[in-house]
Amino acid sequence: MTDKAAIPPIWILIAATATGPLALNIFVPSMPGLVGTFDTDYATVQLGLTLYLISIAFAQLVYGPASDRFGRRPALLVGLAIYAGASALCALAWSIESLIAGRMLQAIGGCAGMVLGRAIVRDVYERDRAAGAIAVITMAMAVAPAVAPALGGYLDSAFGWRASFAVPALVGLMVLASASWRLTETNLTPIPSIDVMAMLRNYGSLLKSRAFLGYAGNTACSVGAFFSFLAGAPYVLIEILDRGPEEYGFYFVLISVGYMGGNFAASRLSTRFGVDRLIPVGVGVSMLGAITGVGCVIAGIVTPASVFLPMGLVAIGNGLSQPNGIAAAISVNPRIAGAASGLMGFGQMLAGAAFTQIVGFFQNETDHSAMAVMILIATVGSLSFYLLARGDRTTPAA
């Protein structure tokens, strides 16, 4: 490590990264009750999820360049302040419209940690060591959405739906205070301008890089596989197999454990073997799981095991490949690592939204074929994008 900023406490980056994923799912158990509370329909309540995801996608495009220009620390502090305030607004919501508006602001604030945690790591570590640190941080993005529904269900039953937003507000304030106290600036070479044309030039230079497109596309497709599962698995288990929501929650935790296991392995192996050796290993494991899932559909096997075990393999593989792909993508041009992180995150969110909608459109009432096929397509896409990056691994984006 040469000419790098002081390494910040990893727990601050983990906590900041977890804020957005925590808020994403914590109010899901309250959604049916909100229909009656606000005298509306379920589709309108569901906008609180859809617009949250879309808001994250677009906000990431701003945080990256802003942190490249003004620094990681102020950008993160502003985001955490917005997150805490918006969570409080949601807790005090007086209508479904005010709740949805609060959710959009909550997403705008919550995505700051998701973007800037990765950029901060890249500021203080070289590429291969950054992959290991990112793997640790990425575990927070697996733990938070896995725990959030169970936590939200408990809070709703014990204290009412407003508690599901009061807790994120409190968490946001605690992380904001911690970051203000312990986080120092890590972007030692800020870019000179942040006008719209400069932002477009930075994004344009990244989009012209086969290496960036390949690595970013690789991670976007792995996210697409995960959201394909999220879109199909609850319906298959609860509606087709007639199992309870609590059983789905149990199985989903197992998927998260698999993903975290892959992240843990990546954190230990990335420095030793390098990103370009671990990515194909991870994609290969995911491919095995995806093919197994499609094979179960072809064989007419529709059981909890046929739904969750193949996805467990996909999760392990994604846990191995994704942090390495992220580290490689934001290393293409380290000087605009924030812009690269934001653009990559934007692609991930759009991929997740697209795969979710496709699975929902083609979902049938007898099996999990739509989910299984889309997971396989996403995994093939992940491999294809990695092969694109392999052809231009050393070319900078500018």
Structural domains for the chain: 1-184 (1.20.1250.20), 205-392 (1.20.1250.20)
DSSP secondary structure string for all residues of 8-21: PPHHHHHHHHHHHH
Which residues contact residue 177 at a Cβ distance below 8 angstroms, ignoring those fewer than 6 apart? none
Q: What is the mean pLDDT of the chain?
A: 84
Task: Express each pLDDT in 72-96 by its tens digit.
Answer: 889 899 999 999 999 999 999 999 9
Least confident of 57-66, 219-228, 323-332: 57-66
pLDDT of residue 194: 63
Band of pLDDT at residue 397, cut at 50, 70 and 90: very low
At residue 270, does pLDDT exceed 90? no
Angstrom distance (rounded) from CA 225 to CA 382: 9
Between 112 and 61, where is the model more confident?
112
- Gap between the Cα atoms of 306 and 296, Å rounded: 6
Quick check: 380 pLDDT over 60?
yes
What pLDDT is stored for residue 398 in this prediction?
A: 40
Determine what percent of the chain is predicted with pLDDT higher than 90. Answer: 32
DSSP string, 29-44: GGHHHHHHHTT--HHH
Enter the DSSP assignment of 335. G
Q: Is the pLDDT of residue 141 over 70?
A: no
Mean of pLDDT values over 163-168: 94
User: What is the pTM assigned to this prediction?
Assistant: 0.73
pLDDT tens column, 16-41 = 888 888 898 788 777 767 878 898 87
Q: pLDDT value at position 1?
A: 43
Cα–Cα distance, 72 to 82 (Å, whole number): 16
Average pLDDT of span 43-57? 80
Residue with tokens 């050393």: 394
Span 222-256, pLDDT tens digits: 999 988 887 777 778 777 888 766 677 677 778 88
Q: Is 241 helix (H, G, I), strand (E, B) or coil?
A: coil
Q: Are 177 and 291 in contact (CB under 8 A)?
A: no
Tally of CB atoms within 10 A around 194: 16
